[in-house]
Structures are given as C-alpha cells and as structure tokens.
Structure 1
C-alpha cells in the first residue's frame, strides 16, 4: 500500500501542512519538529507526490500540455522543445491527449479541478477552443502553440504561414513554373487559408484541391487531376505527407520530378530529406515554437508580463531536388 502524506502526518503527530512545509524546506517549522517529520518519512519510506511538495508553496511545479493525437507527424518536435525548456526550469510536465473526444476532455477537466498543474500549453484539439478560453478567463495561465489562425484571447506562438506559402510560389516561379496544382489541408484551419493566400497572391491558380493532411490526399488529388486531363507543371502540397503522396502518384504515372512536375511541401519533416528526389519544402520551426511557448508560460508563472500579440517565428524555404 502506498504511504501518503496523511500517514506521515499521523505518525509524526503534526498536520499535513506541516509535513508539506518540511518537504518544501520552509522556515516556519522548528528544527525539532522538522527532524521528527524527516525521521518518519525515512522510516515509512514516503515518496512525496508533486501535489504534496507543492501544497505549502501553492505551486505544483508542473506544466500541463493538452494536444490532439500524438501521431501528428511534427508533434514530437514540439514536445521535445517544451520538455527541454520546462525540465531545465525545474518543472515537470503532464501530457493530456484528446484521442477519446469528450471522455478525454472530461478527464482533463478533473485534473484542472485538482490543480494538478500551474499553467497550460495547448496544441489545440478540434472543438476545445471554448473550453481552453474559459480556463484562461478563470485565471489559468495558457499559451497556445500553433494557433491555426484562430488568434485566441490568450498568448500564442505562431509561424509565418502566409509568407511560407509565398516562398513556395516564389521558388516555383524561379524554376519557370506557371501552372501549379495546390493540394491543401482542411479549409477550416486558418493556417491552410493563410498558406493558400500567400501562395496565390504570388502565383494565381484555379487548380486547388482540398483534403486532409495525409498521403492519400496527395495521391488522390494527383490521380484525379491527371485523369481529368488538367495541365499542371508543379505541385504545392500543404504538408510533407501530402507531398509524399503526390510524388508517389506522379512517379506511378510516369511523370518525372522535377523535370515534368516540380514539387514543394510544407513542414520539413525528417522524411523530406529521404524521398526520391529529396523534397523542397517550407520548414516550420516546430521545436523552436515549443521552446518559445514554454518560456512564455514559465515567465508568466514567475510573475512576468504575458504578451498581448502572438509571437510569430519565421518559416524557411529549404531547397532540395524536387524543385
């Protein structure tokens, strides 16, 4: 059976608050009482939870992080940036996903009620913006990573999706392409609209196919465009998975990349370096976004000001052989 802080308090003849103050090395406890509590802790083999350690100081020294599925291809980069930053500051991290929809959100709400963490980083699961906004309004420090163009009422870290789309168009124009096929992610995401607007402002096209951020979307869009006899000399894919599917379909149809069709993706996932040919793509600074969001939240927890405007980190065009 796990030893609890109540067991320690009972054995030492003190309150749970006193035990917590000893754990936090607070000066309010006299030396004799503190020594007795530490002796009981050693005898019972008590291992304090983060909640017990934080009881007296009013802080759990823990950051919460709410995400959609961990299978998103760039999720690991964001999480690593967050983890490196919060651990260096002496904080832990609780990770919550929304794989089970309403059940996941309900479980997350119980942890909020229990004050299991001091502040929240969010990669916004669909349908949770109102919930997260309400938490912020009730006093929970919140920072959003990758705002998808939502521009929430709390601090966020974003990237230059419009400029990224424009840089993809500029690259295709520089290689002499003028008839692009654009394959987007879901139009409900603000980042998709920004990438499309940035691209078409520089290189207009009437050939735009919307889908999901998947290889199947890229493959199906190219197969359909070829079957319909649509003429295109380039493809701008709204992420690298779409680009990989488009590349597969082009090669299956006997189209050479980049000689017949140039191809540009978005994200710069590790796989982009290993396609054949390697993929020209727009790099999102995902790890840097995680680091910046964590630093912003920690600064707010330390009493510093939280910014009113999003922190926007630049994208970067990475030129490889596909364009």
Structure 2
C-alpha cells in the first residue's frame, strides 16, 4: 500500500507553510485566490485526500494549537497546560496536548503534527532545541517553548525567574534566623538528557549564593551538596545528605533545589533526630503536589505556572498572525509560599 499523502507533502511541493496549505484547502479568506488555486492543483496532482474528520473540523471553523509535553511522571507542566487551555479557549482555539512519542522522541512527535489540523505548537521542556527547530521548519509550524533546562534558545521561550526565586526563599530562611543553610543541589552528570544541561539548577544555586552574600554570610562550599538522581522518586534518602548530617558542619536549614528532593531530605533529618523546623528548617522550589504531601508541608517557591501557560499561548498566536516575536527567554517572577517546614 502506498504511503498516504500528507499536508506536509503538499506544503513542501507548494513551497508554503503547512498552515497556509490547511487554510487554502479550507477556503480561508486570508489566503489569496491564486495561492488557493495553486495549492489545490498541487494537492490534486499528488493525490492528497483530507480525512473526513479534518474536513468537518475545518468547515466548522475549527482552530487549534498543539502542546507537546514530557511523557514522564513529573507533572509540573499540568497547571501550565490548564492555564494554556483556558487562554486558548478564550481566544477561540482548541488546545491539543501530545505526550512525547516514546519511540521516536520529541522530533517524531513534532513531525506527526503535519497530519492534524494544528496551526502552531508549544513545546515543554526541550532538551534539544536545534532538532525540534529543524522539525518545526520542515512542516512550517510556528512554535514557542516553555523551558528552563537548556541555555540555548531557538524559539521564543518562557520560564520562571529561577535565580530570583531561589534568592527569595533563602532570604526567607535568613529572616527566620537561620545562618548555616545547606543547599541540596542536583547533579545530573549527563545521565538525564530530559533535563537538558540543567540550567534551572545552576540558576537556583546562584540565587542561593546571592542571598547569603547580600546578608553578609560567607558561602561554605561544604554545605553545597550535589546529590545523584535528584528526581528519582524511589530514593529513600540521599547518601550525601546523610553524610552531611553525620559528619559535616552543623546546619540549621536546608534549601532543596526542587520540591521532589525534599522527601528524602526530611527522612534523613528525622532519622538523625533533627526536628523540622525547630532544629533544621527545610524549603524547596516549584510548589508541586510534593510540597503538600510531605510532613511537615513544605515552604517553597511557586513557579508562575498560570502566567507561563497564558504567555505561551499569547506568544504563539502572535507568531501565527505573522508578528515577529524575538527568540529569547522571557522570565516570569515566582512567589514565596510559606508553610510549616520553616515557620
């Protein structure tokens, strides 16, 4: 059986973007008559046959954008997508959510968008922006990214202001009278490609240093602990934290660079006989569900999930409309959420 001709095939033969092909075949008024006729002639020559479902969606005035999300257990992107969905709906668009294809990966998932009626894509946590940029260019699909894992930016990109957020939470610990504050920091070591080059961890470590230096507290390098597999939910405790509590300098607070690291840290503190927060305060970053499930509940920095989702949709629709949106990172301020682990 011969391969079905796709919108991407027609787009390539016609030398126009896939969104233009879709609008031309759907008699969209913003496509000139000459372009519509040329696209239809090429589609007929190639044997393109739109699906019944796609044709029904187009004739019903259907407009859609897509979001590609990580196919992983860490669900920080869920509130982002809820906000993106609400914003897209208010602008007359449906939001289609696609987990990353386990077989072909991120670029295969982007390539697959050529076969559905979508006008643009939001890509969440992009470890290899060059490959995804190339995939989007192949099918003429506008894209923006929600990502704080990689230094490289090949799309308009939205993220939390990680450095500012870390400084905010460490300043809170200092205001509580804590002076010997450890940093539980993740060491990715190239073993976790889904986290890119770990930009967010580096920025949070810089914010930790900023807060201490501004308060006149010397940074003790012995208190910066790189733990392996920081996002492995099966880890009971981090050996590096156990060693710090057994033989290291005395501490009165621990800042965890991500909320998921807090549960092993709290278990280590409990096993060592330290009470939280009386002996050692603990704080995190992200305000995921994990922050509410630990005991005591975790003081943390909440990522601006709602603003990131809404901003991504707004940027993408501007790009679809033909506006020039710069390919740089837009950082949105997070906020401190104080709970029982520090107060």
Q: 1:98 to 1:141 in 2, by over 3 A?
A: same
Give the TM-score, by structure 2 length.
Answer: 0.72
Determine the structure 1 residue equivalent to 2:244.
225
CA contact (8 A) 1:218 1:241 kept: no
Determine the structure 2 residue equivalent to 1:111.
112
Q: 1:67 to 1:252 in 2, by over 3 A?
A: same
Report how many aligned residue pairs link the two structures.
281
Q: What is the 5 A alignment of 1:120-199?
A: 120-126=121-127, 128-137=128-137, 139-187=140-188, 188-199=197-208
Determine the structure 2 residue equivalent to 1:44.
none
Determine the structure 2 residue equivalent to 1:205.
220
CA contact (8 A) 1:68 1:99 kept: no
What is the root-mean-square deviation in Å for CA atoms of aligned residues?
3.1
CA contact (8 A) 1:279 1:321 kept: yes
Larger radius of gyration: 1
Give the TM-score, by structure 1 length.
Answer: 0.76
Determine the structure 1 residue equivalent to 2:65.
63
Determine the structure 2 residue equivalent to 1:93.
95
Q: Which residues of structure 2 form unaligned runs of 5+? A: 1-21, 31-50, 189-196, 213-218
Determine the structure 1 residue equivalent to 2:288.
269
**Is 1:299 matched up with 2:318?**
yes
Determine the structure 2 residue equivalent to 1:237.
256
Match among 68, 76, 92 for residue 78 of structure 2: 76
Moved more, 206-215 or 141-150: 206-215
Looking at structure 2, the residues matched to 316 and 77 of structure 1 have their Cα atoms a distance apart, in angstroms, of: 15
Moved more, 296-305 or 277-286: 296-305
Looking at structure 1, the residues matched to 160 and 258 of structure 2 have their Cα atoms a distance apart, in angstroms, of: 14
Moved more, 254-263 or 145-154: 145-154
Q: 1:64 to 1:255 in 2, by over 3 A?
A: same
Looking at structure 2, the residues matched to 48 and 186 of structure 1 have their Cα atoms a distance apart, in angstroms, of: 50
Q: Which residues of structure 1 form unaligned runs of 5+? A: 1-16, 27-46
CA contact (8 A) 2:54 2:116 kept: no
Shift of 1:308: 4.2
Counterpart secondary structure, 2:309: helix
Looking at structure 1, the residues matched to 234 and 203 of structure 2 have their Cα atoms a distance apart, in angstroms, of: 22
CA contact (8 A) 1:166 1:201 kept: yes
